[in-house]
Amino acid sequence: MNKLLSAPIKEVSQKIYDNAVRPSEICKASVKLASVVKPLNAYITVTSDAAREQAVAADERQQKNSLLGRLDGIPVAIKDNYCVKGEPTTCASRMLANFSPGYNATVYERLRTQGAVLIGKTNLDEFAMGSGTVDSLYGPTKNLWGSEVMSQFYSNGSESSRATTRKLRSKNAWRIAGGSSGGSAVAVATGTCYAALGSDTGGSTRNPASYCGLVGLKPTYGLVSRYGLIPLLNSMDVPGILTRTVDDAVLILNAIAGPDQADSTTVRREYAPITLPETIDVRNLRIGIPKEYGIEGISKETEECWEKVSRLLEEAGANIVPVSLPHTDYSIVCYSVLNRCDVASNLACYDGIEYGHRADEWSSAHELYKKTRSEGFNDVVKGRILVGNYFLLAENYEKYFVKAMKMRRLIAQDFDVLWDSDVDLLLTPTTLTEAPSYDEFVQLDNQTQCLIQDHCTQPANMAGLPAINVPINLSREGLPLSLQLMAPLFHEQRLLTVAKWIEQAVQFPRLKLKNSCLLE
């Protein structure tokens, strides 16, 4: 069973179809493993009862030869800002600590339609406002890589990785998982599930994927329904997918993509499922290398990683061309303004009256609102609300919000110019370095860290583009280094095909459970 928990979905699914393993056995092992890796704090809620019930139903379909597809009986996890009927949906905030919705998010409903088994709801920065999964009501999520849990129960055959674990342990330090979907990333990296949903507003799926050595896919805005995803920034939020392989990401995307009557922002055309070829030809593809992404602060190893993959693609026949996205430097400031404006608007509904946390205050409605919001939100969230309201004041609206919207159009046009000049894809770093330690990360405040961590990822959200993180190799410290691909709108087929080619070319070392971690 240990080996099976580290396997790709396709392999596990085939064993289910061949009656070589029961879904309930996989579920039992996944739930047990979730307890083993609990010190990493990947989950806010392990939905063990629901998982067992769903797995037993998959057992029955298996016995009747009526399985629902390749995801039937496959354990998955969902970030705790997606609504799941009857289960806590907290957004890692005191404001929603006791909230259980009466409906399912569309993406979860579609996974369930194909028989996927929900193992749990994963940790995040409060209301997804962060890039480290360190600002959660339930405590930070720790990266598996370089942790004591990794040294005890996992192996990838890397001496540098084991040395890093010893060094970090001696310093009493640990690496961040990235954010805000860090819990989903660690859930997949540990093998407690085969795939997890995150959300991606400025990089919140790709960033933790980069730090945790995973594939992290942000689809085109509008390709996947946001219904049931508690919003951060309505015009940029996209459900994200975290898996161990590109093929697994395709399986999840095919399950959840497509129009949704409950979400007016989804495209109104049928989704054509993606199939990736086993043999991939990258000859004559034009892949752009934008100079603006090689900024100050990028590590030497990340640059070497970028150069290595560029060289591999060129040797395989792709055309590697230097390109420019001239408004990139303005993108993060523009994003920060728009983010705070939407936060101020979206979180106005949390007033202690309809649902969520309510303060013990009865003197007046005004005092109730004030005390409820003061108690319910952490300082990061309150800061963004206050700044957003300032930007939206009548005397500031044109100066901040309208100007940011105009700049967003220029940023999107930068990409359009490249696509019109026959550039097929862009290759960039995802994060500037390997995962920093918690001690290093918290030396800077939340806003400053987001400005650094989102630099390479948020322009894709500004333009609505599909983007994917692909793990490449290990740093000298034994930690994952990754790169990002971006494609034109709705060109997921091209994006995922080249991502798979890179995956096959670099052969990133996958973590496997040791035999000492017996789950049978």
Q: What is the dihedral of CA 489, 494, 500, 506, to 10 degrees?
A: -90
Note whether 106 and 85 are within 8 A (CB). Answer: no
Q: Determine the Cα angle at 98 with ends 46 and 130, to 5°.
A: 70
Alpha helices in 154-276 (DSSP H): 159-171, 182-190, 206-212, 246-256
Tokens 């009927």 correspond to what residue? Answer: 85
307 burial level (CB within 10 Å; 0-12, 13-18, 19+): exposed
For residue 180, indicate whether it is catalytic: yes
Query: What is the Rg, in whole angstroms, of the alpha carbon atoms belonging to the chain?
Result: 22
Q: Which entry of 24, 28, 79, 336 is annotated as an active-site residue?
A: 79
For residue 160, indicate whether it is catalytic: no
Query: Distances from the Cα of 180 to the Cαs of 105, 133, 145, 203, 384, in angstroms?
Result: 19, 5, 17, 8, 16
C-alpha atoms less than 13 angstroms from C-alpha of 426 in its C-beta half-sphere: 30
Neighbours of 229 (CB within 10 A): 24
287 DSSP β-pair partners: 320, 425
Q: What DSSP string describes 101-161? A: -SS--HHHHHHHHTT-EEEEEE--SGGG--SSS-S-TT-PPBPSTTSHHHHHHEE-S-HHH
Amino acid at 442: V
Q: What is the dihedral of CA 197, 199, 203, 209, to 10 degrees?
A: -20
Q: Which entry of 180, 181, 199, 225 is annotated as an active-site residue?
A: 180
Amino acid at 433: T
3-state secondary structure of 398: helix
Q: Which entry of 30, 204, 225, 475 is annotated as an active-site residue?
A: 204
Quote the CA–CA distance of 265 and 222 in Å, as a whole number.
Answer: 6
Phi, psi of 485 (to 5 degrees): -110, 140
470, 458, 428: which is closest to 323 by C-alpha?
428
ω before 310 within 30° of 0 (cis)? no
For residue 147, indicate whether it is catalytic: no
Tell me what percent of the chain is helix, strand and coil, each rounded to the nearest 5: 45, 15, 40
Q: Which residues are catalytic?
A: 79, 180, 204
